């Protein structure tokens, strides 16, 4: 079929054609408009606080962005489910040409062009080809579906609530990851300072041993021992510096920044005190507010709603139907103007037992959801207990390691004085230095474990937030 450009067409026809051809393009344009994207913040320069690191992570971390996007999608699912309450209207524009006798006979009727001449047998058996341009609007509206749509809306709302709890839990896990990376950065820098001090002390011991050897008060093995100790201290310093670089990179990734961003931790691992409630209270509060446990509870409700939905499939549904159409032999001419309206009752009598199987499946999923809830409750209680015990143990380790570091420092001072007086060997001094370095590092590790244990307890109870003591203290 040839299509010619006819500038003499009526203006109404031009407007109608332009509208019909522009409609798909308009729909495609609207579909292509992207959603509102969250602009990531620029990487900070220089030292940052833990509170600032958490704030940056909550804005930039890709895992949290993905979780929020999923929650947003689930929220829109509520509107999708509610659409089942409203009428559905469709538009169609079609063209057909043919000489099928039934097609020609029916089209002439719908075009309101049927005449007495069309009853001629020759025309009925061998009609000439006929064009039919069909413009139609069809609509259907649910009159009563015995709760099917309401249960779908309930399921969508439960799903949206579940996704919000999942996003909340992801938010807490991201904060814990940042806290861990930040504290690890502080620890790495403190270890580096200890390693630098160890190198400085060992160099002083080596110089002291060399001076005593020149005076004939020490044997060459003292110098060799000091040199070996210095080499080990320098190696430890190299490892400590590398740990600082890796800690900074890990913190950047946790914040959702490039791993080579010029950020680093500020301050140092200072001693602090975290207050906690008794174990039983913490466990009970965790079961009330912890997002992943609340998500499991919502899963139980979804399973129960699924049972109701499966049972509802046994019920009929009533729908209102309507349509309006025009049928024309040319695109611009006027022809038949037809409409239909009615109601339909749909009731499935037999579908091979699928509905009964769906009910049985829904009951099984309900039992599964309840078992998962029971399991999750035990997991939450155990995790709170573990975090609670770890926090208490870390608090005690801080006190013990602090005393040990003080004693090691004093022991080294005494042995240095005795070495200068020739009462002990250089090996005694070097061992004391090793013990002092080890005691300092143990105290730093205890401080790190104590602060991290506090954050872990807040994570286990579901109370970790940007304003938590684990972040602000």
59 near 174, Cβ under 8 Å? no
C-alpha 36: how far from chain center: 17
CB 222 within 8 A of CB 213: yes
pLDDT of residue 236: 94
Number of domains making up the chain? 2
* SS3 state of residue 261: coil
Instruction: Check whether residue 408 and residue 385 sit in a common domain.
Output: yes
| Same structural domain, 305 and 158 | yes
Determine, yes or no, domain membership for 35.
no
Nearest one of 43, 55, 45 to 471, comparing CA atoms: 55
pLDDT above 80 (res 6): no
327 and 409 share one domain:
no
Tell whether 25 is covered by a domain: no
Does residue 458 share a domain with residue 366? yes
Contact 410, 436 (CB under 8 A): no
- What would the pLDDT profile of 218-277 be if each residue is shown by its tens digit? 778 888 988 999 999 999 999 999 999 999 999 999 999 999 998 889 888 888 899 889
Cβ–Cβ < 8 Å for 202, 426: no
Domain that holds residue 340: 90-144+318-347
Whether 120 and 230 map to the same domain: the answer is no
- Give the model's confidence band at 29: pLDDT under 50 very low, under 70 low, under 90 confident, else very high: very low
User: Is there a domain that residue 462 lies in?
Assistant: yes
Last residue in a domain, options 326, 347, 368: 347
Q: What pLDDT score does 43 carry?
A: 65
Q: Is the pLDDT of residue 27 over 90?
A: no
Digit-coded pLDDT (tens) for 197-227 = 999 999 988 888 888 888 877 778 888 988 9
- Contacts of residue 388, Cβ cutoff 8 Å, sequence gap at least 6: 276, 279, 282, 457, 460
| Long-range Cβ contacts of 216-224 (<8 Å, 24+ apart) | 217/422, 218/426, 222/425, 222/426, 222/427
Predicted TM-score (pTM) of this structure? 0.81
| Residue 130 confidence (pLDDT) | 92
pLDDT at 129: 93
Residues 6+ apart with CB under 8 A from 3: none
Spatial neighbors of 378 by CB under 8 A, at least 6 apart, are none
CA-wise closest residue to 460 among 277, 299, 298: 277
Q: What is the mean pLDDT of the chain?
A: 87
Within a domain: 45: yes
Instruction: Give the residue, 213 or 295, on which the prediction is more confident.
Output: 295
- Domain for residue 27, yes or no? no
At residue 330, the pLDDT reads 86
| Whole-angstrom distance, CA of residue 441 vs CA of residue 446 | 9
What is the CA 232 to chain-centroid distance, rounded?
Answer: 45
The tens digit of pLDDT for each residue in 344-386 reads: 999 989 889 998 999 999 999 999 999 999 999 999 999 999 9
pLDDT value, residue 460? 97
User: Does one domain contain both 252 and 339?
Assistant: no
pLDDT digits (tens, 9 = 90+) for 425-472: 888 888 999 999 999 999 999 999 999 999 999 999 999 999 999 999
Residues 157 and 201 in one domain: yes
Planar angle of CA 47, 201, 192, nearest 5 degrees? 25
* Both tokens assigned to 6: 């006819």
Q: In the 8-state DSSP scheme, what is residue 349?
A: -
In a domain, 10, yes or no: no
Mean pLDDT, range 49-73, rounded to an integer: 94
H helices of 121-219, in order, are 121-125, 148-214
Are 416 and 334 part of one and the same domain? no
Say yes or no: 132 and 166 in one domain. Answer: no
In a domain, residue 24? The reply is no
- Cα 448 to Cα 252: distance, rounded to the nearest angstrom: 19
User: Which of 347, 363, 398 is at the close of a domain?
Assistant: 347
Which CATH number characterizes residue 468's domain? 1.20.1600.10
Examine the domain organization and report whether 140 and 192 are in the same domain: no
305-344 pLDDT, tens digit per residue, is 999 999 998 999 999 999 999 989 888 776 788 999 999 9
Same domain as 154, residue 128: no
Sole residue written with tokens 């349509």: 323
Q: What is the pLDDT of residue 2?
A: 35
CA distance 329 to 107: 9
DSSP 127: P
Query: Using CA atoms, how far apart are residues 66 and 257, in angstroms rounded to an integer?
Result: 16
Domain end, chosen from 303, 330, 347, is at 347
Whether residue 342 is contained in a domain is answered as yes
R_g of the chain, CA atoms, integer Å:
39
Q: What is the pLDDT of residues 81-124, one digit of tens each?
A: 999 999 999 999 999 999 999 999 998 888 888 888 888 888 88
The answer to whether 455 and 391 have CB atoms below 8 angstroms apart is no
Same domain for 243 and 375:
yes
């Amino acid at each position: 079929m040839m299509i010619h450009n006819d500038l003499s067409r009526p203006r109404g026809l031009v407007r109608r054609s332009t509208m019909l051809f522009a409609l798909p393009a308009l729909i495609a344009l609207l579909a292509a408009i992207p959603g509102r994207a969250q602009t990531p913040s620029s990487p900070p320069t220089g030292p940052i606080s833990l509170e600032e690191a958490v704030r940056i992570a909550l804005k930039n971390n890709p895992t949290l962005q993905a979780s929020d996007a999923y929650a947003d999608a689930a929220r829109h699912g509520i509107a999708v489910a509610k659409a089942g309450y409203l009428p559905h209207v469709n538009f169609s524009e079609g063209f057909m040409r043919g000489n099928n006798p039934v097609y020609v006979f029916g089209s002439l009727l719908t075009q309101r062009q049927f005449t007495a001449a069309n009853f001629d047998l020759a025309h009925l058996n061998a009609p000439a080809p006929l064009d039919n341009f069909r413009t139609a609007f069809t609509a259907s509206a649910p009159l009563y579906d015995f709760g099917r749509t309401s249960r779908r809306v309930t399921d969508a709302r439960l799903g949206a609530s579940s996704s919000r709890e999942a996003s909340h839990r992801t938010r807490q896990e991201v904060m814990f990851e940042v806290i861990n990376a930040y504290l690890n950065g502080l620890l790495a820098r403190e270890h580096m300072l200890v390693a630098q001090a160890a190198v400085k002390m060992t160099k002083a011991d080596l110089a002291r041993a060399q001076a005593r050897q020149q005076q004939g008060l020490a044997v060459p093995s003292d110098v060799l021992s000091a040199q070996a100790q210095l080499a080990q201290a320098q190696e430890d310093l190299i490892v400590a510096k590398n740990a600082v670089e890796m800690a900074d990179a890990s913190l950047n990734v946790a914040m959702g920044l490039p791993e080579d961003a010029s950020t680093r931790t500020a301050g140092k691992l200072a001693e602090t005190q975290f207050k906690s409630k008794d174990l039983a209270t913490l466990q009970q509060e965790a079961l009330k507010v912890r997002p992943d446990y609340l998500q499991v509870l919502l899963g139980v409700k979804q399973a129960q709603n699924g049972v109701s939905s499966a049972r509802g499939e046994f019920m009929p549904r009533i729908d209102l139907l309507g349509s309006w159409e025009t049928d024309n032999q040319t695109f611009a001419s006027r022809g038949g103007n037809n409409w239909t309206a009615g109601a339909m009752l749909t009731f499935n009598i037999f579908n091979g037992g699928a509905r009964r199987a769906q009910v049985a499946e829904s009951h099984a999923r309900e039992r599964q959801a309840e078992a998962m809830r029971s399991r999750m409750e035990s997991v939450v209680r155990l995790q709170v207990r573990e975090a609670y015990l770890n926090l208490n143990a870390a608090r005690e380790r801080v006190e013990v390691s602090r005393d040990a570091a003080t004693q090691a420092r004093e022991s080294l001072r005494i042995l240095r004085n005795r070495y200068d007086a020739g009462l002990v060997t250089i090996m005694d001094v070097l061992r004391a230095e090793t013990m002092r370095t080890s005691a300092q590092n143990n105290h730093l590790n205890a401080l790190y474990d104590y602060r991290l244990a506090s954050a872990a307890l807040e994570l286990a109870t579901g109370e970790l937030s940007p304003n938590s003591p684990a972040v602000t203290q």
